[in-house]
Amino acid sequence: MAGKTKYIFVTGGVTSSLGKGIISASLANILQARGLSVTIQKFDPYINVDPGTMNPYEHGECYVTDDGAETDLDLGHYERFLNVTTSQDNNVTTGRIYNTVISHEREGKFLGKTVQVIPHITDEIKRNFKILGDSGLYDVVITEIGGCVGDIESLPFIESIRQFRNDLGHENCLVIHLTLIPYLKASGEQKTKPTQHSVKTLLETGIQPDILVCRTERGLSMDIRRKIALFCNVPVDSVIEALDAKSIYDVPILMLKEKLDKRVLKKLKIKADKHAHMEEWKNFLGKLKNPTAEVHVGLIGKYVELQDAYKSIKEALIHAGAENETKVYVHWIHSDELNKSNLEQKLGELNAILVAPGFGERGLEGKIATCQYARENKIPFLGICLGMQCAVIEFARNMLGLKDAATGEMGKRSKNKVIDLMEGQKKVSKKGGTMRLGAYDCRIKKGSKVAKIYGKEKVSERHRHRYELNNNYVKDLEKAGMKSVGINPQNNLVEIIEVAHHPFYIGTQFHPEYKSTALKPHPLFVSFIKSARDHHKNGDSRTD
């Protein structure tokens, strides 16, 4: 930590989904490679206090941090690109800001004043901008603002950036604006007008962006760069091209080539290492791009139409693929469409099967049937959270003869709730932030397959669920071959199961995908892909 923390804001214009999260993570990655300590935070303009209560179709995956915050999926990108953990402080919503201000008003903290957007809401936003910076841990804090400039709901955030930059001065605070330069096929031209308009919108709120990052399908010619610079009032070397990339993991290298790091360091007067140390990252990319084998993994879930709903799982499979120098093809399969009669047709060609987390009844029986198919046919299997719960239900029904085995979440009248609500959850009525959330320790049983995979006996993994394996059934499950191999030392709950006499049949009550990063792929995923690869190699490896 060299000195004063510097702040970078990343705003977006023209359209959403241009990849502000990836640009922020890539910039942080190359600044980190120049020896700086960097973190990223996301400010979302919606009224929900956090995305935990949102349907995955609305908002994609809900990412969970070590401290149990339910956050925007961009925080997953931050961790995967930076290899450092984030926390509740890294994700703030309008809802959270208002929640705080309104409770202060109820406590009488404003001493009779009229509480207003400016200055009370903007003051609270500015206080939150600074929380991570004030920890003294970071040289640079990057703040990504969700949505597009010009949206009514993001106005207080934009106004707060204006005030914040005035408070801190331009050498301590920089604004990067991400825009789109569309290509019009009919006229064969790239168009700068949408960018000009979006910069104008920013200017109306009193903010002149320092750097423009321009998403484009085709490269930006010098002429186009000059035009953008002239109309948008930035130096030409502050017009940065962001070409569509094959993989999101290429973007740090593209930003380095465009010298985004140099522009930022110069403008903020930051002293950093002369060169970016990207060797490890390039090594990862090398493995990612040069696979020596391929595997086909079926992801069985009920939100498969929207792949963002399983973002961290998808990325963890990519990391594990790179580690194994194996190209992973993910086949997204709707659990609703699976039943005993079509399993062979839908799953027969796969090298491995992953049953995804989830909530609610829809598609549950399809997941349970899949668990049986993977178990009986010795196909490498990973069940995550609800996926593990389905594996336990299936095993209890077919190996213990408990035909009505169910989870308390759905089968309320079943006599054999092999998965049931934890005692502490029984009285919970509020929905937001009330599940078992965040990191918990897990003790791994010696001699288990999982112990070999982790190479250690104590791990910490992140949770997001209300239901647990019912300990009354553990003994019978063990006897029949489903072993409880990971136990929470504090409350004795089962966190991992594995099935004996199977090449790879593992279920985890936690979400290993949240902790997989590009440079530190998760061991369970690495081993899962290795097993898929072996399954493939052996053709029919359906023996122990």
Total residues at interface with ligand GLN (CB under 6 A) = 10
Q: Which is nearer to ligand GLN, 92 or 304 (CB)?
A: 304
Q: What's the min distance (Å) between Cβ of 471 and ligand GLN?
A: 15
- CB atoms closer than 10 angstroms to residue 35: 15
Task: Note if 513 is an active site residue.
Answer: yes
30: amino acid identity, one letter: I
Q: Determine if 386 is a binding residue for ligand GLN (CB under 6 A).
A: yes
Q: Determine if 110 is a binding residue for ligand GLN (CB under 6 A).
A: no
Q: What's the min distance (Å) between Cβ of 200 and ligand GLN?
A: 44
Q: What's the min distance (Å) between Cβ of 82 and ligand GLN?
A: 25
Task: Note if 385 is an active site residue.
Answer: yes
Single out the catalytic residue among 511, 522, 535, 536.
511
Q: Determine if 493 is a binding residue for ligand GLN (CB under 6 A).
A: no
372: amino acid identity, one letter: Q
Phi-psi region of 112 (alpha: psi -120 to 50; beta: other; left: phi over 0): left
Q: What's the min distance (Å) between Cβ of 467 and ligand GLN?
A: 3
Q: How many CA atoms lie within 13 A of 310 on its CB side?
A: 27
| CA–CA gap between residue 100 and residue 105 (Å, rounded) | 9
Residue 88 DSSP code: G
Here the tokens at position 224 are 């186009």
Q: Which is nearer to ligand GLN, 147 or 366 (CB)?
A: 366
Looking at 24-32, 45-53, 354-362, 517-525, which segment touches ligand GLN (CB under 6 A)? Answer: 354-362
* Cα 447 off chain centre by: 32
Q: Determine if 391 is a binding residue for ligand GLN (CB under 6 A).
A: no
- CB atoms closer than 10 angstroms to residue 182: 17
| CA–CA gap between residue 105 and residue 531 (Å, rounded) | 57
Q: Which is nearer to ligand GLN, 253 or 392 (CB)?
A: 392
| CA–CA gap between residue 198 and residue 177 (Å, rounded) | 9
Q: Which is nearer to ligand GLN, 214 or 384 (CB)?
A: 384
Q: Which is nearer to ligand GLN, 62 or 288 (CB)?
A: 62
- CB atoms closer than 10 angstroms to residue 411: 18
Q: Determine if 359 is a binding residue for ligand GLN (CB under 6 A).
A: yes
Q: Which is nearer to ligand GLN, 265 or 369 (CB)?
A: 369
Residue 533 DSSP code: H
Q: Determine if 465 is a binding residue for ligand GLN (CB under 6 A).
A: yes
Looking at 148-156, 190-198, 459-467, 472-480, which segment touches ligand GLN (CB under 6 A)? Answer: 459-467
Q: Determine if 301 is a binding residue for ligand GLN (CB under 6 A).
A: no
Here the tokens at position 186 are 């009919």
Q: Determine if 357 is a binding residue for ligand GLN (CB under 6 A).
A: yes
Give the β-pairing of 70-71 and 63-64: antiparallel
Looking at 48-56, 57-65, 226-234, 351-359, which segment touches ligand GLN (CB under 6 A)? Answer: 351-359
| CA–CA gap between residue 440 and residue 461 (Å, rounded) | 6
Q: Between the CA of residue 129 and those of 90, 158, 159, what are the distances in Å?
A: 9, 12, 13
Q: What's the min distance (Å) between Cβ of 81 and ligand GLN?
A: 24
Q: What's the min distance (Å) between Cβ of 464 and ligand GLN?
A: 5
Give the β-pairing of 239-243 and 352-355: unpaired
Q: Determine if 63 is a binding residue for ligand GLN (CB under 6 A).
A: no
Q: Interaction with ligand GLN in 238-297: which residues (CB under 6 A)?
A: none
Task: Note if 511 is an active site residue.
Answer: yes
Backbone phi and psi for residue 424, each to the nearest 5 degrees, phi listed first: -65, -20
Among 284, 467, 504, 528, binds ligand GLN (CB under 6 A): 467
Q: How many CA atoms lie within 13 A of 260 on its CB side?
A: 32
Coil, strand or helix at 474: helix
On whether the CB atoms of residues 80 and 516 are closer than 8 A, the answer is yes
Among 36, 385, 453, 474, binds ligand GLN (CB under 6 A): 385
- CB atoms closer than 10 angstroms to residue 423: 9
Here the tokens at position 300 are 């069985």
The owner of tokens 């699976």 is 338
The owner of tokens 């070397």 is 237
Single out the catalytic residue among 124, 513, 522, 535.
513
Q: Which is nearer to ligand GLN, 12 or 301 (CB)?
A: 301
Among 96, 464, 483, 515, binds ligand GLN (CB under 6 A): 464
Q: Which of 236, 250, 240, 243 is nearest to 219 (CA)?
A: 243
Looking at 190-198, 323-331, 355-363, 489-497, which segment touches ligand GLN (CB under 6 A)? Answer: 355-363
Q: Which is nearer to ligand GLN, 464 or 502 (CB)?
A: 464
H or E segment to which residue 95 belongs: helix 94-106
Q: Which is nearer to ligand GLN, 162 or 466 (CB)?
A: 466
Q: Between the CA of residue 19 and those of 145, 146, 176, 444, what are the distances in Å?
A: 12, 11, 13, 39
Q: How many CA atoms lie within 13 A of 202 on its CB side?
A: 30
Please state the three-class secondary structure of 272-323 as a single string.
CCCCCCCHHHHHHHHHHHCCCEEEEEEEEECCCCCHHHHHHHHHHHHHHHHH
Single out the catalytic residue among 173, 371, 385, 442.
385
Looking at 131-139, 324-332, 356-364, 512-520, which segment touches ligand GLN (CB under 6 A)? Answer: 356-364
Residue window 395-434: x/- pattern of binding to ligand GLN, with contact defined by CB under 6 A:
--------------x-------------------------
Looking at 317-325, 398-406, 461-469, 486-494, which segment touches ligand GLN (CB under 6 A)? Answer: 461-469
Q: Which is nearer to ligand GLN, 258 or 409 (CB)?
A: 409
Q: What's the min distance (Å) between Cβ of 40 and ligand GLN?
A: 25
Among 13, 146, 358, 363, binds ligand GLN (CB under 6 A): 358
On whether the CB atoms of residues 382 and 513 are closer than 8 A, the answer is no
- The residues binding ligand GLN (CB under 6 A) are 357-359, 385-386, 409, 464-467
> Which residues are tagged catalytic?
385, 511, 513
